[in-house]
Amino acid sequence: MARLPIELVGQTIAPGTQATVVLPVPDTYLRQGSGMPVHVFHGRRDGPSLFVSAAIHGDELNGIEIVRRLIGLKRLSKLAGTLYAIPVVNIYGFIANTRYLPDRRDLNRFFPGKTGGSLASELAQVLFENVVTKCQYGIDLHTGSNHRDNLPQVRGNMTDEIVLSMADAFGAPLALNTEGIEGSLRYSAETCGIKVLLYEAGGALSFDEFSIRAGVRGITAVMEKLGMLSARKGVRRRKVALQVAHDRTWSRAPASGLFRTKVKLGERVRKGEILGTIHDPFSKASFDLISPKSGVIIGAQSLPSVYKGDAIMHIACFETLSQAEAQVDKYSEIVMGEETFA
């Protein structure tokens, strides 16, 4: 039986075709019109529906480039199921080079949204009603915030066998078993029975080639796992063993000043180890940043100036630290060593 076409805000997409549909959203204050473009690939063959969303926070650029490269893949012409790819959800923050909306709200705390609410609620409702609820699966793309860089990692409900299989297929070496935050896209989607994986990599307002390559590679691997794409003939995907953290913590600044790090992302650290030093810019005083637990550095502040209490180093804890660190190194070699990675 032939697949039926789908309709999105009055636009019909036939099986075996693709289209860019612009979802209507509130105008900017210049009244020049606004919209949220969604790239829809509706395969000829039956299969699941997947959304891939980027830039829910407007300064998270890696995801935008990941989506741009994803929709350019020739493999999508043989897609089974339907792919909804949204390069920029928070168009207002993107225009202003900021994480937030113009009213300083965090869009990822207002899902599923509602009509007649705040700008955040309106925007969330547009995406959720028109795209998210049409899917069985989702991959939400993020980066670090507030001058923080994240090691490529996936997050989700790893006690859910389907989400865990998606995480394993994605191929990132490290995974965090985390609960969704109420109001987030992931939490609201999971409430509707949609399986969602988060990909965190790199920092805000910049491109990181490693993070981008890993993202495209991971998404296509998940699509293969879901049966949306066929494995490429003659191409064997190299992968590393997924390490799921059993705990995580932050190392916080014991004093204000200028921070100099002694460790890097992906490095193994021990409880009590000195991660870096905070120097008083006006005297010889200094204060060591100490690791509260043994683990692997998965996130770090990149801005040297810090205040007391700032979260400086994000540490994930694993059963076997040496293996987790080794998988990170191996993963980097695989991703950057491949000529074709998608």
Asked if 195 and 275 sit in the same domain, the reply is no
The residue count for the chain: 342
Domain of 284, CATH number, reads 2.40.50.100
Sequence-ordered list of residues with C-beta below 8 angstroms from that of 273, at least 6 positions apart, any chain: 263, 290, 291
Q: Are residues 161 and 78 in the same domain?
A: yes
Q: For residue 324, is it within any domain?
A: no
- The stretch 305-331 carries a mean pLDDT of 94
Same domain for 124 and 88: yes
| Whether residue 341 has pLDDT greater than 60 | no
SS3 content of the chain, % helix, strand, coil (to 5): 25, 30, 40
SS3 249: strand
pLDDT digits (tens, 9 = 90+) for 251-290: 999 999 999 999 999 999 999 999 999 999 999 999 999 9
Is 34 a residue whose pLDDT tops 90?
Answer: no
The pTM assigned to this predicted structure is 0.96
Residues 132 and 281 in one domain: no
Q: Do 14 and 151 share a domain, yes or no?
A: yes
The answer as to whether 83 is a domain residue is yes
Q: Is residue 163 part of a domain?
A: yes
Beta pairing class for 11-13 and 6-8: antiparallel
Query: Is the separation of the CB atoms in 170 and 197 below 8 Å?
Result: yes
* Whether residues 101 and 55 fall in one domain: yes
pLDDT of residue 17: 98
Range of the domain at 273: 247-317
Number of domains in the chain: 2
pLDDT tens for 9-26 read 999 999 999 999 999 999
Tell me the pLDDT tens digit for each residue of 108-129.
Answer: 999 999 999 999 999 999 999 9
- Specify if 152 maps to a domain: yes
Tokens standing for residue 89: 């959800």
pLDDT tens digits, 130-153: 999 999 999 999 999 989 999 999
Torsion angles phi and psi, residue 86, rounded to 5: -115, 105
Are residue 140 and residue 53 in the same domain, yes or no? Answer: yes
- Choosing from 193, 225, 257, the residue where a domain stops is 225
Domain CATH code at residue 196: 3.40.630.10
Does 90 share its domain with 145? yes
Residues 181 and 259 in one domain: no
**Residue at 329 is within a domain:** no
Quick one: 191 and 309 in the same domain? no
**Residue 340 scores a pLDDT above 70:** no
- Tell whether 56 and 140 lie within a shared domain: yes
Instruction: Tell me: do 221 and 258 sit in the same domain.
Output: no
